[in-house]
Amino acid sequence: MVTLVFIMLTAEPVTKLNWRHHPNIENVRSVVAEVDAAMAAGKLVGRVRECEFEKRTLRVDDRGVVRFYQWDAGGEDSADLVDYYYDPSGRLRFLHAKGGAVPNAARETRLWFDESGRRLWRLHTFHGEGMDFDPEEYPEFIVRDPRKHYAGKPIHYQGPDACTEGPLKDTPRVPPNAGSPESD
């Protein structure tokens, strides 16, 4: 009986009224919590690639599966930090982007994905004056293959020797609470 109720709830679409506690959203939140806990415990091995105007950080579990990817990109007039969370099978489940632009724009996007990669829900806020940015409008910002993206050319390509790469010097990372209902 409980299984039938759960199946019925997960089959129900995510809406404005139910998204905060919808089982599919809760499932994504558990992935985010699991990844954040693994990072805090030092269980994810990381590499960092730094170029002018951007930094890419890749974190993998003990099986070599990418569980977290961070893309910090910007330029002279804007900057954005995008956190990507992946489930144990390496599928993108959550994206949290936060950034701004001159003169005083502030923007934030949260995207939840199901196991098939379909978007479950989206929250986007924008305040101030300046350029808005929503990762969902730019396919290259929905990073489903983080290893490929990590190795790819930076936005402001400066030549083959413009970037440095190495192991991540781990410092405790404060999770952004990106998936918690209290921060939504």
What ranges do the domains of the chain cover?
Answer: 2-157
Residue 90 · residue 82 · CB < 8 Å: no
**What is residue 35's three-state secondary structure?**
helix
Confidence tier at 158 by pLDDT (50, 70, 90): low
**Separation CA 85–CA 83 (nearest Å):** 7
Closest CA to 173 of 99, 94, 93, 83: 83
Residue 177 burial by Cβ neighbours in a 10 Å radius (0-12, 13-18, 19+) = middle
Q: Which residue has the higher pLDDT, 109 or 3?
A: 109
Rounded to the nearest 5 degrees, what angle is found at the Cα of 129, between the Cα atoms of 126 and 132?
45
114-135 tens-digit pLDDT: 999 999 999 999 999 888 888 8
For 8-56, the pLDDT digits (tens) are 455 799 999 999 999 999 999 999 999 999 999 999 999 999 988 899 9
Q: Are 84 and 105 in contact (CB under 8 A)?
A: no
pLDDT for position 109? 95
Q: Is 133 exposed, middle or buried (0-12, 13-18, 19+ CB in 10 A)?
A: buried
How does pLDDT run across 46-84, given as a tens digit for each residue? 999 998 889 999 999 999 999 999 999 887 888 899 999
Strand partners, 84: 69, 95
- pLDDT over 70, % of the chain: 83
Cis peptide preceding 172, ω within 30 of 0:
no
Cα separation of 154 and 175, whole Å?
25
Two structure tokens written together for 127: 């305040």
